[in-house]
Homo-oligomer: A and B are copies of this chain.
């Protein structure tokens, strides 16, 4: 319910109200809320300096009661036409603002929680072995990525260089990656910190997590495959990770909660989520130069974000405001549900046919990749995530 005139089927209706950081020419970055095709200048509308800090961190650090109070007040402001005169001066067209990285990222962790993705990668890279490593069904595998190279949607993707060595080569060579890929993921942003030494149980997930965004974890597969044994991905990932500018509040995803897929065997207690299922029915869409190439279903993820958070802290590791953890590539069981080109082109062996008659294995210079997503909201509404977009530029 709102007095605003919203575009038909907007994903940014009154049940969503995602937060971002924006600026207009000559002004400082500040917090905004997306409503339809507009952004509400929260700093100006509320006079609360927490919204003028240039990132969501200070607001997130206030905790879940403050998040709920602001959300409730926002729904009142846009719901009751009596507030129209106060609110309207602070609404700007989204296409007139510049979006910034919404969060000062503290630590960035990337998981590997889609069974279909992990099995596909296993079949591609280790065709003679079991598709899943033995630990995969027992814990959500993850690793730390580079927080300092997380950037907002729109940041150009300069093709990275690095060492790569094909099995037939005697020695590695250095040069631009020839296997630049995407990973379509959903990321979760920590608002409330935790104490060193104290694990965060599954039930405390909404006490710590502020919201969700989209993540494209750009990957240079040739760099990655040469470097990753035994300590994991490093330069194959650290050149850039792109996130969507809007952070969807966890409260907006209540109607999207679903049970995760059945598990192969009983889980150790800290991961047993029977009473706290946090599967989320979010459908992603991946477009390459405007053409849809995949629709990965987040609801098919084996491990939920609540399990990821419980695992991440099971050893007592502390959370900080601004921590970002991403799901890993979201891939469903069908070919058109795969969230990476290494899967869509089966490591280049089955090039992906495109509408213009060309094909694609990995990304070419000039390619534009757009990831968007939506989830069911209350009573037939739709919760949109906006987009995370990036264009590949040739290597320097």
Contacts and interface: CB of A to CB of B under 8 A. Distances in A.
Chain B CB within 10 A, most for which of A145, A151, A234, A320: A234
Contacts of A133: 229-230
A268 B173 contact: yes
Interface stretch (A74-82, A156-164, A373-381): A156-164
Interface string A225-266: 011111111111011100000000000000000000000010
A396 interface: yes
Interface string A130-145: 0001010011011111
- Which residue, A106, A107, A171, has most C-beta atoms of chain B within 10 A? A107
Interface residues of A, number: 62
Interface of A: 106-107, 112, 133, 135, 138-139, 141-149, 151, 158, 160-163, 165, 171-174, 196-199, 220, 223, 226-236, 238-240, 265, 268-270, 311-312, 314-320, 323, 396
What is the oligomeric copy number? 2
B144 A229 contact: no
Given A174-B268, A231-B233, A144 B320 contact: no
B235 A311 contact: yes
A227 B148 contact: no
A143 B234 contact: yes
B235 A317 contact: yes
Contact of A144 (B144, B151, B171, B230): B144
A362 to B, nearest CB: 16
A360 B230 CA distance: 27
A166 B269 CA distance: 19
Nearest to A320: B148
Contacts of A223: 315
A146 B147 contact: no
